Amino acid sequence: MPKVMRPKDATSGVSKTDPYAGAQARKGSRAAAAHNIFKMNTDLGQHILKNPGVAQAIVDKAELKQSDVVLEIGPGTGNLTARILEKAKKVIAIEHDPRMAAEVTKRFQGTPLGKKLELILGDAIKMPEYPYFDVCISNTPYQISSPLTFKLLATSPAPRSCVLMFQREFAMRLFAKPGEKLYSRLSVNAQMWSKVDHVMKVGKNNFNPPPQVESNVVRIRPKNPRPQVSYDEWDGLLRICFVRKNRVLRSGFLGTSSVMDMIESNYRTFCAQNEIPLDDGPSDNADVAMEEDVDAGADDDAGIMDVDDDEDVPAFFKEEADKRAKKLAGNPNRKKKGKVYELVRAKVKKVLEDDTQLADKRARLCDEGDFLKLLYAFNQEGIHFT
């Protein structure tokens, strides 16, 4: 007698003789549907840390106290948040995606840990200032790595430490030393204001979905007491020096009209605030030529490329460059200047060639001491960068 085959379950796609396989299939179907509803937005850097061991190691390295207020940037679904809440007094989580914010709220709502969580929906970079916090922990969206680092370095009062996950190349920029390929404005700033330690490497398979690059966790401990230097003034100088880090400083300052225009404008402001009279008449030498490099790449070493992002270039330079291009379309290398310009130019030349003797040194080879020497000498001449 032929064997009669039982009909298959239309919902599961498997035989009734295998009910467990059917349950497994339905479970997989529901999981797939849930995944489709809550798809990660990789454009916002949403790569959720799924390895609980890595999450716990990050929290352990933060060395949290029971009295600590922790700032978390981009909590995602709350995998890292849950471990922070267990050890800290309070967690202030800033989330840009409303879906993620709802997920974190739902996860901790009605639990004892939920009472210690404050969720802020918004852009962490555009916030004027952060609420007070002792420690920052973040699986940082790669797109905001640079601005977030600068924002944290400028925070006052400074946090005790920041344990941050970064793209590997960006993390290496934090450690880079003068002369290395990745040495940049970020390197100088990080090492000026803090002590940076490498914590661990994190492979891409520890995330969902996996990113295209490997990651590193670093710990940034701001110096206490902070260096007695204006952050804005210091960063303003570095912005100028690292616009083209492979140029010699003489070319970066004296050979760049937008830089000289900015310095002249700042010097006028300084003189007005301190009631210092200026002779604002026309120059005796009617046409003062800029010592501007025709080939910007002439000072570059072969094989060494700038790694600073576009955001490292001050908007002032771009605006001034556009104005200058329109104004000097007929004769781009010459421009009429007044006596104030000549005075400022002489001061800059004195600082670079006489006071610091750094005129022929490239920014990528200067260390923290060189930049401090430059800043002090410029300030002594009444030249400021804010």
Q: Is 96 annotated as a binding residue?
A: no
Q: Is 274 annotated as a binding residue?
A: no
Check the CA dihedral 168-95-45-83 and report its sign. positive
Q: Is 208 annotated as a binding residue?
A: no
Q: Is 49 annotated as a binding residue?
A: yes
Q: Is 214 annotated as a binding residue?
A: no
Q: Is 35 annotated as a binding residue?
A: no
Annotated binding residues: 47, 49, 74, 95, 123, 139
Annotated binding residues for S-adenosyl-L-methionine: 47, 49, 74, 95, 123, 139
